[in-house]
Structure 1
Amino acid sequence: MTSPEKMHPVGIIGGTGLTTLSGLEITGEKQVGTPWGNPSAPLIEGLLGDQPVTFLSRHGNPHRIPPHQVNYRANLKALYDAGVRTVVGVNAVGGIHPDMGPAHVVVPDQIIDYTWGRASTFFEGDLDSVTHIDFTWPYDESARQILIDAAGAEGVPFSGFGVYGATQGPRLETAAEIIRMERDGCDLVGMTGMPEAALAAELGIRYVCLGLVVNWAAGKSDHIITMEEIEAAIEQGMSGVKRILEVSMAGLGVLTPLPQSS
């Protein structure tokens, strides 16, 4: 356990629908740089309850950076340099599993990476040696259980499992691509889950995904996907996501930091 005066701030990376975090008592804002460039937006520092929090809008504020152009390395390094050792990545996703429809919350346990061409590692360039991190379990189990317990306590409809399929974007998928992903074992589809999770692992950051289903994946409904549908699901489900974050902060803040990979 970490004493309150030594609590690390918990990082929250907000995606579509979570550009700002209501309930956050803001104490500061920092525009920072990293060796990999600038993060998507300034770091917003504050308190959620009694827990120090550092919030970062993944797509910028306003929302204007597409998934394939997010500087994931700068985002994670900026949070790490700010003292963050646990990150909750909030993701808007499409539902493939029949139980994971619009406005449903998911705390996935696995991920499959279908992205390409993204800067996806800190371990490249002029290195002393090649480093391979273990990525068997991409999401921190201790953090997952805290989110799952919070969702249960708040009565938010959720699933405590799921395979997240990370696609390139920014276009949505074809029905045939979703059929392939379902055969592969994917329950969800999104565009920002990777390389965010892997970069966190390279830094030794505990990382967990909190997914909000905002639409049925392509071919899983009898209509095309519309922004109106997505916005309605965000409006319906985001209050549950925020309640889970608020309830889970105290537990996430006292998790023991992991050793940094090197």
Structure 2
Amino acid sequence: MTVRIAIIGGTGVYDPNILDNIRDEKVDTPYGVVGLKIGDYLGKSVAFLNRHGAGHSVPPHLVNYRANIAALKELGVKSIFATAAVGSLNENMAPGNFVFADQFLDFTKVRKHTFFEGGEQGVVHIDMTDPYCPELREVLARAADEFQLTYHKAGTYITTEGPRFESVAEIKMFKLLGGDLVGMTSVPEVVLAREKEMCYANISMVTNFAAGISPTKLTHQEVLDVMAENAENLRKLAMRAISLIDPDRGCLCQDALEKLNKE
């Protein structure tokens, strides 16, 4: 069966009791072999890809983003829900809140950001006016409303290189630039998904206020603790969103290259 829906995230989202007929799959791509799980939910096949590998063993700057996105495309995925733990620069977006980002600012440095590097692939300048699929964001908002979760329908996600946390001066700069959230994974994931003509939505869970805003120094344990406390809400939100969409839905995101070639 073709897989049309995928979740990219960590073990906080995945619950073996949610999906039926779970099986491990390996997908060979030009960028490497990707291991993932495929299961069924309400009659829909769903792929789950653990971005950081087993035991959170891969740091954000070394994630093989191209292989991951290429593997999902190979499976036939059309819609991606990508979860992320983020810090907040916006006092209105408090720990425990969900944010469905609509824009990003990219401050990564060493990652492979494109499938198009010349040669046989050519050079493509993909449009990123609406990087996160507006339709999937609407679905997430509807699901969050049903569960009465505290969420924000839009926000600007600052992507930093990591794995270190940010300095106070960096956070001040990001805030001046209009950033709401700071994390380490959305770029290039969202860009690569657009290049492969897949809809991509970000589900950010705020785990802490960023450096200089938070009254205490940041620790990775703080992030894990808030994720654990809110994991059930995150699972409910993601799975309800999946139940609300047509696996074979069409969208402008899925014609990104065709639209580009016509202009």
Q: TM-score, normalised by structure 1?
A: 0.91
What is the percentage of aligned positions where both structures have the same residue? 36
Moved over 3 A (4+): 15-22
Give the aligned partner of residue 66 of structure 1.
59
For 1:33, what is the secondary structure of its paired residue? strand
**How many residue pairs are counted as aligned between the two chains?**
255
Give the aligned partner of residue 7 of structure 2.
12
Give the aligned partner of residue 30 of structure 2.
35
The CA distance in 2 between the partners of 1:24 and 1:128, in whole Å, is 37
For 2:55, what is the secondary structure of its paired residue? coil
Give the aligned partner of residue 170 of structure 1.
163
> Which consecutive residues of structure 1, in runs of 5 or more, have no partner in the other structure?
1-5
Residue-by-residue CA offset, 1:54-104 (whole Å, 9 max, x unaligned)? 000000012100000000000000011011111011111111111112111
1:9 partner amino acid: R
CA contact 1:24–1:48 (8 Å) conserved in 2: yes
Residue-by-residue CA offset, 1:111-155 (whole Å, 9 max, x unaligned)? 111101201100014136421111111000001100111001111
Residue in structure 2 matching 1:23, options 1, 13, 18: 18
Give the aligned partner of residue 3 of structure 1.
none
RMSD of equivalent CA atoms: 1.9
Give the aligned partner of residue 211 of structure 1.
204
The CA distance in 1 between the partners of 2:228 and 2:217, in whole Å, is 20
The CA distance in 1 between the partners of 2:61 and 2:11, in whole Å, is 14
The CA distance in 2 between the partners of 1:20 and 1:71, in whole Å, is 24
Give the aligned partner of residue 99 of structure 1.
92
For 2:54, what is the secondary structure of its paired residue? coil
1:169 partner amino acid: G
The CA distance in 2 between the partners of 1:113 and 1:121, in whole Å, is 14
For 2:257, what is the secondary structure of its paired residue? coil
**Structure number with higher helix proportion:** 2
Give the aligned partner of residue 69 of structure 2.
76
CA contact 1:7–1:254 (8 Å) conserved in 2: no
1:238 partner amino acid: A
Residues 1:261 and 2:257 aligned together: yes
The CA distance in 2 between the partners of 1:26 and 1:105, in whole Å, is 29
CA contact 1:109–1:138 (8 Å) conserved in 2: yes
